[in-house]
Amino acid sequence: MEGIEYLYELCEALPRCVPGDNEFTRRAFSAIGKAAKQPLILDIGCGPGVQTIELARISNGKVIALDNHQAFLDKLMEQARNEGLEEKIIPKNMSMLKMDFEENTFDIIWSEGALYFMGFQNGLRRCHQLLKDEGHLAVTELVYIADNPPDAVIKYFESEYPDIDNIEGKIQEIEKEGFKLISNFTLPESAWLNSYYLPIEKELPRLNKKYEGNETALGVFEGFRNEIDFYRKYSEFYGYEFFVMQK
């Protein structure tokens, strides 16, 4: 993607790279209920790892934090050291498209807003292989949350995320890949605005100034500006759904 370095620069300045909040990470984790005593957890596309740190804090296990952008892993491990959690997190710079773990390895696989890089269905299939029997998978995925979204919204996602579907459609995919759905809930607007879009809005003036005259960089930042405006206008029609499921 042209200008990806500017996208990374913006994202590295944010607390997290996708809507979410520790409150909802904890809610999804508690839906798993009685899991292994010391679970081995894989966090796919962990980014700067707010949720990785939370998983390390609330679970009694170890978390493999997988991402292919080293700066995110560095930021995550710095935070882990600050919180005394570095023994519980193993950073792994690897593409999720080339994961070389043995099958039936993990008790829990986590992925907030990142599984779609593999394609949602393909990602489910890969996680099913990597999970132990009765292991759990928790993911957030973009969905339509209202019937009959307006044409403007349908058109937008035809280019931005053609895999988008309603919640029922995603549940069918989950079941087709051999999982039992345990719990699902929609992230509220606060998880988009407070945790993600407001921090972006705070960074944009600084970055627009820094890259004055650089059309590629300004184009990337304008894309974020437009995305936020679009969300403010149409947030009743789409959102992130947390799906917690069992193999």
Ligand X SMILES: C[S@@+](CC[C@H](N)C(=O)[O-])C[C@H]1O[C@@H](n2cnc3c(N)ncnc32)[C@H](O)[C@@H]1O
Beta bridge partners, 240, equal: 142
Q: Which two tokens stand for residue 157?
A: 């996602």
Q: Report the residue from 9, 67, 141, 241 that binds ligand X according to the rule CB under 6 A.
A: 67
Query: Alpha-carbon distance 166 to 158, whole Å?
Result: 14
When asked if residue 126 is in the footprint of ligand X (CB under 6 A), the reply is no
Residue 72 or 156: which CB sits closer to ligand X? Answer: 72
When asked if residue 112 is in the footprint of ligand X (CB under 6 A), the reply is yes
When asked if residue 45 is in the footprint of ligand X (CB under 6 A), the reply is yes
Residue 37 or 184: which CB sits closer to ligand X? Answer: 184
For ligand X, which stretch binds (CB under 6 A), given 109-117, 160-168, 183-191, 199-207? 109-117
When asked if residue 89 is in the footprint of ligand X (CB under 6 A), the reply is no
CB-based burial, 206-245: b 16+ in 10 Å, e otherwise: ebeeebeeeeebbebbeebeeebeebeeeeebbbbbbbbb
When asked if residue 170 is in the footprint of ligand X (CB under 6 A), the reply is no
Q: Which two tokens stand for residue 172?
A: 């069918």
> What length does the chain have?
247
When asked if residue 122 is in the footprint of ligand X (CB under 6 A), the reply is no
Residue 113 or 149: which CB sits closer to ligand X? Answer: 113
CB of 100 to ligand X, least distance (A): 13
Single-letter residue type at 215 = E
> Do 78 and 72 form a contact (C-beta atoms < 8 A)?
no
Residue 240, C-beta contacts closer than 8 angstroms, at least 6 positions apart = 18, 19, 20, 113, 140, 141, 142, 143, 186, 187, 191, 192
Kind plus residue range of the DSSP H or E element containing 204: helix 198-210
When asked if residue 117 is in the footprint of ligand X (CB under 6 A), the reply is yes
Beta bridge partners, 66, equal: 44, 92
Whose CB is nearest to ligand X? Answer: 47
For ligand X, which stretch binds (CB under 6 A), given 61-69, 125-133, 168-176, 239-247? 61-69
When asked if residue 113 is in the footprint of ligand X (CB under 6 A), the reply is yes
When asked if residue 69 is in the footprint of ligand X (CB under 6 A), the reply is yes
| Total residues interacting with ligand X, rule: CB under 6 A | 19
Residue 150 or 239: which CB sits closer to ligand X? Answer: 239
Coil, helix or strand at residue 14? coil
Residue 39 or 47: which CB sits closer to ligand X? Answer: 47
> Do 187 and 140 form a contact (C-beta atoms < 8 A)?
yes
For ligand X, which stretch binds (CB under 6 A), given 113-121, 152-160, 167-175, 206-214? 113-121
Binding site for ligand X (CB under 6 A): 16-18, 20, 45-47, 51, 67-69, 72, 95-97, 112-114, 117
